[in-house]
Structure 1
Amino acid sequence: MRMVNARCGRAASRPARRSLATGMLVVCAAVGLSGCMSSKDDKMDVMALAAETDPADVLYNQGLANLNSGRLKEASRKFDAIDRQHPYTEWARKALVMKAFTSYRSGDYEEAVTASRRYLSLYPASDDAAYAQYIIGLSYFRQIPDVTRDQKSAARAVAAMQEVVDRYPDSEYVEDAKAKIRYANDQLAGKEMQIGRYYLERREYLAAINRFKRVVDVYPRTRQVEEALARLTEAYYAMGLTQEAQASASVLGQNFPDSQWYADSYKLLQSKGLEPREGGAGSWFADATRKLVGA
């Protein structure tokens, strides 16, 4: 521990020094410092600590004021103080969800998720439970990278936002949750397409086909489906599996007749005197047609 300023020690008598040292140790322990300094910043920290012993409603309103003024760190500090000083109160409940929101606004998404999950574990039936779940979804959503990178955050965003839709169907957050699910699913489908195109370029056709089929099976409502069906036609055609190529093009034509992808697939088949043709009953292509028609 850093030595206390020597001038303070010379100015006090031995009993007084002992009392002063004890008082400073108490303050240092309270604010979690590893050393005690007499700087201006330390004095401000002590003053802030004293302010954080205010009544819960005062701290809460101070937190809101700081939040509205953009002083997010100070707002978070006020909400934390309520949790420490007034646990298991209604103010602590309100402060916890505001702590989650403040962390989200600050870009501290990990803390936002942690605070929201803690809120849901403590107050699962409260009026703000839907909001806490929504914050979890938003925190993951804001971390979705471009489609060339790992889409783990997109998958987590979908799962979290689906919880909003399923568990809180009457909440005001449902429509936005659905919109974000659509976007995140499109990212996930886009990642599958990127990998599938990679395999297709390397002529690893079976691996490519599996990726393109997954887009149709798992993400039928995304804008990636048109290309996925066209790429399936291309891959099957390259393998000499003309019936499968015709069936893929047929699914594409039935669902997206005005698509450029369909025009390209039709032209590819025509180069060998072929045309789109429906797959047999019970085939993957028949199932895909039904799935997309209902999408």
Structure 2
Amino acid sequence: MVRIFSIIVSALLILSLAGCAWLNRQADETEGWDVTQLYNAGAREMRSGNYQRAIEYYEKLETRYPFGRYAMQAQLDIAYAHYKNDEPEAAIVAADRFIKQHPQNPFVDYAYYLKGIVNYNRSVGFLDRFIPTDPSQRDPGSALDAFNDFSVLVQRFPDSRYAEDARQRMLYLRNNLAKNEIHVARYYMRRGAYIAAAGRANHVIERFQRTSAVEEALEILVAAYKALGEQELAATAERVLTLNREAGRFIEDTPPPDQIGLTQRVWDYLRLDEN
């Protein structure tokens, strides 16, 4: 009797597992799809703004068809979809994976550009989208990362279609990084740390020439030297400040670059739509 009961339980368990497997196969609508069907489904979800769903299609494509143009394009689209889905870390990981796997690929410039765009925007919070803020007062970490990403792009791929936009963003970032140093210098001045303030001001003058922050740096330098009793150094800094003002050498703030539409796909490169 016990043996019969065990056989019945085993049979029911097998049937249950088989039923689950059948249901799983039924639930996967993509079973049997070819590479173009998977890619087109992902592209369709991307255009509709369903980025998580698009990622799922692209990941299935990579798993089933890991070689060829579609797999390569899927990797780039996954990075972009994570970016659009407010997942900056995942976007950077995906872009880095493409760069590592395809360092000589003619489209690797796009991956560097995307990394720069992600870091460029990642410190912008919800309120920043509606309330004007001074980006130079934010943590400069992401700005430095973006600057470095764009720098690699323009150095390695000076003729890239993304290079000019990257250069404009680098100018804007450099100006904000300089102004961040000014904020720190003014903080030191308020705290009475005049040597530290003078050090920050000199750093701006030496490392961030041709930015709007240089004029403020000289002003801080004059005030810091006077507070330290270094009248000769203060007079020298003030003379440099006056001469440059009279000559009109100080420049205005670098305006933020236009938010050009980031290329969602590189169809014109890969010509996937001609297959």
TM-score between the two structures when normalised by the length of structure 2: 0.77
Q: Take 1:219 and 1:52, find their aligned partners in 2: how far apart are those partners? A: 57
How far apart, in 2, do the equivalents of 1:230 and 1:182 lie? 23
Instruction: Tell me what 2:98 maps to.
Output: 119
2:16 is aligned with what amino acid?
Answer: A
- CA drift of 1:246 comes to 2.1
Q: Does 1:238 align with 2:217?
A: no
- Identical aligned residues as a percent: 29
Which residue pairs with 2:120 in the alignment?
Answer: 141
Q: Give the counterpart letter for 1:194 in structure 2.
A: H
Report deviation, 1:69: 1.2
State yes or no: 1:84 paired with 2:63: yes
For residue 119 of structure 1, report the CA deviation from its aligned partner: 0.4
Count of aligned pairs between the two proteins: 232
CA drift of 1:219 comes to 1.7
Match of 1:154 in 2: 143
Q: Report 1 or 2 for greater relative contact order, CA contacts < 8 Å, sequence distance ≥ 6.
A: 2
Q: Matches of 1:222 and 1:23 in 2, distance apart?
A: 69
Letter in 2 for 1:109: P
- How far did 1:255 drift? 3.1
Q: Does 1:68 align with 2:63?
A: no
Residue equivalent to 2:171: 182
Which moves more between the two structures, 124-133 or 250-259?
Answer: 250-259
Q: CA deviation at 1:193?
A: 1.1
Q: How many Å apart are 1:225 and its aligned residue?
A: 1.3
1:57: which partner in 2?
Answer: 36
Q: Alpha carbon RMSD of aligned pairs, Å?
A: 2.4
The equivalent of 1:272 in structure 2 is none
Higher Cα Rg: structure 1 or 2? 1
List alignment gaps of at least 5 residues for structure 2.
Answer: 1-7, 125-134, 251-275
Q: 1:47 to 1:23 in 2, by over 3 A?
A: same
Alignment match of 2:12 (pick from 10, 17, 21)? 17
Give SS of 2:136's match.
coil
Q: Give the TM-score, by structure 1 length.
A: 0.72
